[in-house]
Each structure stands twice: as C-alpha cells, then as structure tokens.
C-alpha cells in the first residue's frame, strides 16, 4: 500500500517498538490460509540493532497437543511518521501491511491488528486469556473501522 493511502487510515499515532517487542497471544483472528487449523498461536517480536524486527509466529496443528509449526520473518517501518504501519515479510520480497489499529498505550497488554483491505484482523494479548470487556472494546473498534467482525474466530490457547 502507498504511504499516501496509509496516512488516511486511522492507525495508532505512537508505538514504542521496544515495549511492543516480546510474545503476543492470538485471542481471535479472521480465517486465513497461513494459519489454517492452528491453535495456541503466538507471535514473538525481537528488535534488531538495524531497526528491523525479527518475527516468529508459531502454533499447534489441530490441537494444543498437535505438531508445532513455525514461520520466521521480519518486519520494518516503511515510514517513521506512521509508527502504526509495518511491513511484514515471510517470503522476501513479498510483504504484507501490518496495521496497528488499537494499542494499550499505557501497559502494552493488547493490540488490534488489521490490513488495508480489511481481509485480515487479529486481536492479540500479552496473556493467553483476555478480559471480555477488553475483547468487546476491540471488536467494537474493528467494526467502527469497517471490518466484518462476524468473521472473527476465537483461538484456543493453553
């Protein structure tokens, strides 16, 4: 997506990448081919010296006792004036837009991540379970932005 188009989107205005690093648990997501039948999904981010972010997504196939599947990639900020927009690459040079729509600015305990075409959506938490009120707030914020929240699927966690 072009920078001009991203600037028109309602993204978070401030992200402290160092605080964003670490492991996030996937609470809910839109169905997608690359996470099909995965449960216990986590995303772990590590900031590198060059400013890029190492990405490790992992989850268990079909059940929490299933085979652990991993996907490694990296992310970068294409435009420092838009800290809520990252490009994530699992298959270079093809990158996906990672849009931080909502973020717990105080404690970095939850985040709502989407895509420009509204075909991807994730609700992530620092813990395997999320308070219902927080979940409901994030779903409402996604709906306000035009996401079809009826497609959200809860992700089983350990």
Cα gap 149→140, rounded to integer Å: 8
Matching residue, tokens 């395997």: 128
Asked if the model's pLDDT at residue 80 lies above 70, the reply is yes
What pLDDT is stored for residue 3 in this prediction? Answer: 72
CB 142 within 8 A of CB 112: yes
Cα gap 87→81, rounded to integer Å: 14
CB 154 within 8 A of CB 28: yes
Express each pLDDT in 110-155 by its tens digit. 999 999 999 999 999 999 999 999 999 999 999 999 999 999 999 9
Out of 6-10, 64-68, 84-88, least confident range? 6-10
pLDDT-derived band at 73, boundaries 50, 70, 90: very high
Q: pTM of the predicted model, to two decimals?
A: 0.94
Q: Report the C-alpha dihedral over residues 18, 2, 116, 40, rounded to 10 degrees.
A: -40
Residue 104 belongs to domain with CATH number: 2.40.128.20
Residue-number span of the structural domain to which 86 is assigned: 3-154
What pLDDT is stored for residue 1 in this prediction? Answer: 57
What pLDDT is stored for residue 133 in this prediction? Answer: 98
Helix (H) or strand (E) holding 135, with range, is: helix 132-144
Structurally, how many domains does the chain consist of? 1
């Amino acid at each position: 997506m072009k920078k001009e188009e991203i600037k028109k989107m309602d993204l978070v205005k401030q992200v402290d990448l160092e605080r964003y690093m670490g492991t996030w648990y996937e609470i809910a997501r839109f169905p997608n081919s690359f996470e099909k039948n995965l449960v216990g999904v986590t995303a772990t981010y590590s900031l590198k010296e060059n400013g890029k972010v190492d990405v490790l997504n992992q989850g268990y196939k079909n059940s929490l006792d299933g085979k652990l599947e991993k996907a490694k990639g990296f992310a970068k900020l294409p435009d420092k004036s838009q800290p809520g927009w990252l490009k994530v690459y699992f298959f270079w040079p093809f990158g996906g837009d990672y849009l931080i729509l909502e973020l717990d600015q105080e404690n970095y305990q939850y985040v709502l991540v989407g895509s420009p075409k509204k075909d991807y959506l994730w609700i992530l938490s620092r813990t395997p379970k999320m308070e219902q009120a927080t979940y409901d707030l994030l779903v409402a914020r996604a709906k306000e932005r035009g996401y079809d929240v009826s497609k959200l699927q809860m992700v089983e966690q350990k």
